[in-house]
Every structure is written in C-alpha cells, then in structure tokens.
Amino acid sequence: MRCNPSFCAILLGLAATAQGSSDLASNLKREATVTSSFNPKNATLAEFNAHAREVALSRIGNSTVCNKDNVRVRKLFENLTSNERISYTDALKCLMDLPAKTPSDLAPGAKSRYDDWVVTHINQTLTIHLNANFLGWHRWYIWEMERALRSDCGYKGPFPYWDWTKTEKETFEKSEVFDGSATSLSGNGAPLNYTDSDVIVINSQYPNMEVVFPHGTGGGCVTNGPFANITVNLGPVGLALVGNKTDTSGAGYKYNPRCLKRDLTDEILHRYVNETSVLTLLRDSSDIWWFQTIMSGAWGSRDIGIHPGAHNSLGGDPGRDFWVSPGEPASVCPIVS
C-alpha cells in the first residue's frame, strides 16, 4: 500500500484530531475534495501541515461527540502564550509531585505519577519500537498523559508539540523551547570538560553498524528553567555515554534519584532532523513500512532516522536512553506522537 502523503503527515503528528463515526464512503469523498489541489511533490512542510489538518477535519463528519468545533489540535510550543507555556510545565511538574500508581513490587523506583509513564515505556520498549506498534502506541501514550495533565493537574491549555525542524534552523541556543527561561522547557546542561575525542558511539556491538555522535555543548545537570530542580528516578537502562560506554546501572526499575542532564547537540539535528529529511520522508515513502523504517532508521544503514535523531540531539540523561527517554520532559512534548 502506498503511503498517502496526507496520511503520513497525520502519522507524524502534523495534525492531531479524533476520528468521527460517519460513513466511510462520505469521508473518502470529502477527502478527495480536500486533496484535489494538493501536490506533495512541491509542497512545503507548512503546506503538508495545513493539508493534513484539512484531511483530518474532513474525516470527522457530524459526530455529536467529536466535531470540528470541539476537536483538540496540537499547538506549536512557541505559539503558546507565556501563561500557557508556564501552565503546561507546571502541570508536568504537578505529575512529578503526585504519588505513583505503579505497584512498588513492579517498579520500586517509580515515585511519582510522572514515573508511571516512564515505567510503562521501559516495560514495553522492545514491543513498541521498530514495528507497526510504534506510531499508534505512542499517540495513545501521549493522549493518556494529556488526559492526566487535565484531570489530575487541572491543565486547560493546548497540548504542545516540538517542531524539531524549526530548532534545527535556529539552533538550540536561539530556540525559545530551550533558552532556559521560565517560559521554556529549560535549557542545556552545565558544560563538561569535553575534548574533541569525546564522542558517543551507539550500535557498536553490531559489526559495521556503529554510529558516532559528537558531544554537545552541555552534558551536566540542567540549571535553569522550569525543570532545573527535578529529580529523575528511574534508569539508566541503556544510556549511551562518551567513550563508547553504556550505563545500565538502573536496570530492573531501581530507585536511582539524580538530576536531569542535557547535552544539546546541533550537529545531530543538522544531520538527521532537518526539513529536507522530513519532506523526503513524506514525499518519497513508497508504503507504510518504508515510512516507518526511514523515520526510525533503516537497520544497518547507519542512518538513525528522524525520530531517534531528535531524541539523541537532546543528549544527556535520560534523553539519550532508548528505554528511559520519557524521563526527559522535552520528550513528552510530542515529537512524532
């Protein structure tokens, strides 16, 4: 099955709406009307975004539960007002202050409601990545977190997303998302004394498949913004470190309290997470299988893909940990969910 560009764009999270219950034939007729003037071969990312939203809205129909008037649409983080941004980060910190619901005999390291999501991701990592579960599962995961932010912590604003291509153009240092202000998602970690030879190597256990990343401009504890003083409780489970090392000391859901670390790395964004890469993915994927494969990195290609590229560009702990990455608050501001 060829990957319809509008469908692929919706999968990437460029437009997030709920499906109504109206007749499939009428939905397809409406979609045909919407898509008739859209040319994916020369469309910009903004045009893909607008088109995906149109298609999603056309599928809702006249449901009394979900319709065009009450559907929730993800909002670019930078387009939130200052008060909305602070309300969002306050709600995330609220989840971090509430007690966990995960049984302590399953995960003794889960101390907060926020940790419940981290445990769930660790527990299911090997069945929700690099397969057909990935996109649907992560959309459900983010939706459940949004519901908790609203029901448990009183959040009323839009649920934001991070446009990594915008940050790639601006650089981390100049991005409103990571400038370290009170209205950001916090900034970089404290700088460490890296040398040029300090690199991160992943997949080195597989012959001729290792991928080498440069270090970023931080690496230490996050010291500014709303998440400066949060505690990461779970992991590491598979944290890539400089010197071709991997930290697995937190395996088994242990309680391992530590600071949030970041090592923001523009070069990884430039290499994997640029607008051309996203447009190529949307335009050229021949079917859904290739769409997911290219997005997550074709095995053996040494191209880690857009989604892992975004995670690894954040660096640090747990941002670079495949298993524990939702412990990094910027990771739950949907990247592809």
Q: What is the share, in percent, of the chain residues with pLDDT greater than 70?
A: 88
Work out the pLDDT band at 4, boundaries 50, 70, 90.
low
Q: pLDDT per residue over 18-61, tens digit each?
A: 333 334 344 444 444 555 688 998 999 999 989 998 888 888 87
The bridge status of strand 231-232 relative to strand 258-259 is antiparallel
Q: What is the DSSP string of 271-291?
A: HHSSHHHHHHHHHH--SHHHH
Cα 202 to Cα 209: distance, rounded to the nearest angstrom: 9
The tokens 């990545």 sit on which residue? Answer: 129
Given a cut of 70, is residue 2 above it in pLDDT? no
Work out the pLDDT band at 3, boundaries 50, 70, 90.
low
* Over residues 323-336, mean pLDDT: 83
The tokens 């702990």 sit on which residue? Answer: 317
Work out the pLDDT band at 336, boundaries 50, 70, 90.
very low
Q: What is the pLDDT of residue 64?
A: 83
For domain 164-327, the CATH class is mainly alpha
Where in the chain are the domains?
164-327
* Over residues 172-183, mean pLDDT: 97
* Over residues 236-261, mean pLDDT: 94
Q: What is the pLDDT of residue 286?
A: 86
* Over residues 123-127, mean pLDDT: 95
Cα 233 to Cα 123: distance, rounded to the nearest angstrom: 15
Contacts of 123 (CB under 8 A, 6+ apart): none
Given a cut of 90, is residue 219 above it in pLDDT? yes
Cα 188 to Cα 180: distance, rounded to the nearest angstrom: 7
Other C-beta atoms lying within 10 Å of the C-beta of residue 213 = 23
pTM of the model: 0.88
Highest mean pLDDT: which of 231-235, 250-254, 290-294?
231-235
Cα 22 to Cα 43: distance, rounded to the nearest angstrom: 29
Other C-beta atoms lying within 10 Å of the C-beta of residue 73 = 12
Given a cut of 60, is residue 8 above it in pLDDT? no
Q: What is the pLDDT of residue 233?
A: 98
Cα 226 to Cα 223: distance, rounded to the nearest angstrom: 9
Q: What is the pLDDT of residue 196?
A: 86
**Helix, strand, or coil (residue 254):** coil
Given a cut of 80, is residue 213 above it in pLDDT? yes
User: Which residue did the predictor score with more confidence, 335 or 152?
Assistant: 152
Residue 226 structure tokens: 């709303």
| Residue 154, phi-psi category: left (phi > 0), alpha (psi -120 to 50), beta (remainder) | left
- Asked if 102 and 115 count as a contact pair (C-beta separation under 8 A), the reply is yes
Highest mean pLDDT: which of 42-56, 167-181, 276-290, 322-336?
167-181
Q: What is the pLDDT of residue 161?
A: 94
Q: pLDDT per residue over 74-93, tens digit each?
A: 899 999 999 999 999 999 99
